[in-house]
Every structure is written in structure tokens, then in C-alpha cells.
Structure 1
């Protein structure tokens, strides 16, 4: 699989503060990647460095075998800052047409791209609208449409769903899913639940230091996460533990039940049958640990 980004010992200072502290990672083209961490962790600095807006004080980074900001990357990388805004003076179509032309597209090509990306975000009928006529969620989706002009290979989205209602947030998640075979997305967000079912690789920053979590591993032990509508207790653990193939049963900090089992003996059907027999009402049963458990468990 092609290496999309290779970072080695990236370090960036603001005065005496290390915003990035010898950050190293490799990202291959493919599934979306999550970038998570508390406020001030260095996420925006890393995004800006990858885009070529900032230069690291030491270390190296290559994107598609080029240094960030290299002219050959023009149009191959797109980024959406958290505070990106549309110009209130112009229609959606006029703005996207202009951005397409700034990427080097001819006028007709740019307009064709505008129509294509508006269809991707399900907002084709608003091409002639001005930003004040759109909801916050719709404006956010238009901004994401802008990043898709010219079909870039790498798209960085900083808090793309922040402040959105569930419907618009779901639209954006579905869009990322539908395009992951065409572009690699790096998603920064505080919403771990949102990233949980989108991303197989996680870059966790904390005080400038990075912990990379590869969520897909070849192992003989897998995990199911069961969330019940009632509080989980030792009674539930004791009832699940004897199921064939179960290795261990534990409760996480949020009260979900983690069932580790041998992959040669799937237990999901037995677990659902147990819930029915015991009249346990459950909210969800998902494969794997939640992202919150992996990072902070």
C-alpha cells in the first residue's frame, strides 16, 4: 500500500513551548485517519505543518514523496480549517467556480466541478443561493464540497462536524465513507463516538507527543462491546462469562460490557440469545472496543 505521509521526529516550538514533540508516524492511502487530543495538544499545528502553512523547527515530513508546500502537491491536497467561512457577497456557485479556477481549472471545467461536488454533499439545488440563505450545517457542507474540487488525494478536515445537528453530521460521515476509496481523509474531532466507526487508524496527540493506534490488527482475540439500557452489574458479567469462546468480561468506565473472545468461536449470536433469554434490553452490540476505551481505558 502506498505511503501517503511519512513524518519523522517533527518538532515545533512557540517560544519555549513545544507544540509538537518529536512526532513520527506513517499514513498509507486508504481508510480515514482520526486525529484526536485535548485542546492545546498540537492538532492544529500538525495540520498546518502537513499543509505547508507552518514549517517544523526540526524533523522531516514527506507527503506523496514531496515536502509540504511543494508546487507538485497543488491540487492533490485539500484542507478545511475549523473556522472556514463562505463569502457572504457571492453565491455558492460563484465561490466554488472561483476556487476551481484558482486550482488551474478552465472556467467550464471549474463550473462542472462545482456541480459535481454540490451533488456529492446533496446541495445541488442551492448553487444560486447566498450563504445567509443557508443553515449552519449546509454552509459547513458547502465548505467541505470546496475541499473536494479537483478530486484531491488527501483531505484534511478540522472539526468538520463541530456544532452540527445529527442530520448534517451524519451527512458528512456518510460522505467520507462514500469517498474513502477515492481520497484519504484525516479527521480532527473531539467527538470520539463519531470517529469510532469511521477510522481504523488513530493519531492521539497530548501535549505535543503522539501515540499512534492501529485499530485493525491480526489477532486471535477480538472484542465485542455491549451497551445495555439498564446499568450493567456483576450479574451480567457472571452470565456472559460461561459462553463458549469467551476469554474475559469486563466493564468499562462508561458502563459498557467488553467481551473478549477467541476469533475461532464468534459469540455475538450467543450473546444476543442470552440477552433475549435474560430479558436484557440492549442499546447496541458492536465489534471491537470503543475509541474511548482504546485511548483512555
Structure 2
């Protein structure tokens, strides 16, 4: 796999406060990566260092084998801060054309590039429109289009769907999903369900330390099912615990349960067996996740 980001022993302090403490991780080309953590965890500081906005105190950071501040990197790497806005006085076409020229495109090619990235985010009918004539969600799409200029290999998006209504948030997720075969996205967000849909890996920061770096599809010694039931049954845990292969059943919150199991040789997949059992018991569930949810993995 192609190494995109390598961070080794990264430290950053503001006065006596450690914003980042000995952070180490690598990101390879592939599916989107989630960057999560509570407020004050160090996400913005890490984001800013990766983008070359601020210096770090010690350690090493490389983006595509180069320092984040090297201009050559910026042609294959881009980032979009949460509150990035286009200038309200000019059309989105003219602004993206200008940004393309800053990246070295000719006048003719910059217009082609502006149209290409606007088409990629579904704004092909809005070339001449000024930002304030667009809805909030469409303005966010235009900002994402700016980050796609020059066909970058790596794009970091900070809270890409923050403040959007469900429909526009879905539109942004679809854009990211559709482009994930060509671009590796690093997504910072507080919306764990959104990240779970899109991402293959998660980086979890807390108090400046990297507490988790895991692949969401990785298997533990036991397999897991996360189940949300429509109704509560006092006997649910006891009855499911008696099924062959089941190691443990725990109630997470309300009507949500985590089932750990081992897959026995020469038997049908456990999730199939379990669904048949639910049908026999007339149990109605609202959601079944093959594995742990991201929330349960982290907390």
C-alpha cells in the first residue's frame, strides 16, 4: 500500500499545556479514515500541523514523503477547515478558476478544472451563482469542490457535515463515498454514526494522546453482533446466552445489546442462526450491526 501520512513522536505544547503527546500513526491509501475525540482532545492542533498551518515542537510528520509545508505536497494534498467559506462577491466558477490558476493551471485549463470539480459535487447547474444564492448545504459542496482541484490523493475534511440538515448531510456523504476509490479522505467529526458508514479506520485522540488507531473491520477473538430491539424482554439476555456459540450477552443501553460469539466449524453463519431464532421467538428488532458499533468500540 502507498503510505500517505506518517507521524512519529509528535509533540505540541501551548505554554504548559500539552496539546499533543507523543502521537504516532500511519495512514495508507485506501478507504476514509475517521479522526475523533472530545473537545480539547487535540484534533484541531493535529489538523493544523498536518496542513502546515502551525509548527510542532518535536517529532516527525510527512505527507506523501514530504514536510507538510513543502509546496509540492499541496498539489496532491488538500484540506478544508470546518468554517471555510467562498467570497460572497464572486461566482463560484470564477473563484474556483482562480484557485486552479494558483495551482498552476492555465487560464483555459483552470476553467475546465473548475467545471470538473463542481460537476463532481453536483453543482453543474450553478457555475455562475454567487455563494449567498446557494443553500447552506450547497455552499458546503462548493467548498468541498475547491478541495478537489488538481485531483489530490489525500483530502482532510474537518466537520464536513456540521450544521447541515439530514438531506444535505447525506449528499456530502455520498460525494465522499463516490470519490473514495480515487481519493483518501481523513474525516474529523463528532458524528460517530456518520463516520461508521464511511470509514475503515479510526484515530481516537483524548487529552492530546492517541488512545486508539484501529481498523473498524478487524476481528477480535470473538465475533460480535450489536442488536437494537423494538421491545424489551426480561428474558432476552438469558435466552440468547443459551444459544450455541454465544460467549456473552450484555445490555448496553435501553433496548440495545452486544452479543459476542465464536463461529463453530461446519455450521451456518451465526448471524443467520440468530435471525432465525429471533423469528421463532417473534422478536422484532430495529437494527442489527455485524460487529461492534464505533461508539461501543471507543467507549
TM range (shorter): over 0.9
Distance 1:234 1:2 in 2: 51
Q: Do the aligned residues in 1 keep the contact of 2:230 with 2:255 (CA within 8 Å)?
A: no
Q: Which residue of 1 aligns with 2:276?
A: 273
**1:218, distance to aligned residue in structure 2 (A):** 4.8
Distance 2:30 2:200 in 1: 10
- Alpha-carbon deviations, 1:105-126, whole Å to 9, x = none? 1122222222222222112111
**1:260, distance to aligned residue in structure 2 (A):** 1.7
Moved more, 33-42 or 240-249: 240-249
Distance 2:100 2:288 in 1: 44
Distance 1:254 1:121 in 2: 39
Correspondence list, 1:211-222, <5 A? 211=211, 212-219=213-220, 221-222=222-223
TM-score by length of 1: 0.94
Q: Do the aligned residues in 2 keep the contact of 1:243 with 1:267 (CA within 8 Å)?
A: no
SS in 1 for 2:117: helix
Correspondence list, 1:39-188, <5 A? 39-188=39-188
SS in 2 for 1:238: helix
Correspondence list, 1:194-273, <5 A? 194-211=194-211, 212-219=213-220, 221-231=222-232, 233-253=233-253, 255-263=255-263, 265-273=268-276
SS in 1 for 2:125: helix
Could you list the runs of 5+ residues in structure 2 that have no partner in the other structure?
Answer: none
**1:273, distance to aligned residue in structure 2 (A):** 2.3
Q: Which residue of 2 aligns with 1:289?
A: 292
Q: Do the aligned residues in 2 keep the contact of 1:245 with 1:266 (CA within 8 Å)?
A: no
- Alpha-carbon deviations, 1:4-47, whole Å to 9, x = none? 11111111111111111111111111011110011111101101
**1:254, distance to aligned residue in structure 2 (A):** 5.6
Moved more, 27-36 or 262-271: 262-271
TM-score by length of 2: 0.93
**1:87, distance to aligned residue in structure 2 (A):** 0.6
SS in 2 for 1:125: coil
Could you list the runs of 5+ residues in structure 1 that have no partner in the other structure?
Answer: none
Q: Which residue of 2 aligns with 1:27?
A: 27
Moved more, 212-221 or 275-284: 212-221
For these two proteins, the number of residue pairs brought into alignment is: 295
RMSD: 1.6
SS in 1 for 2:279: helix
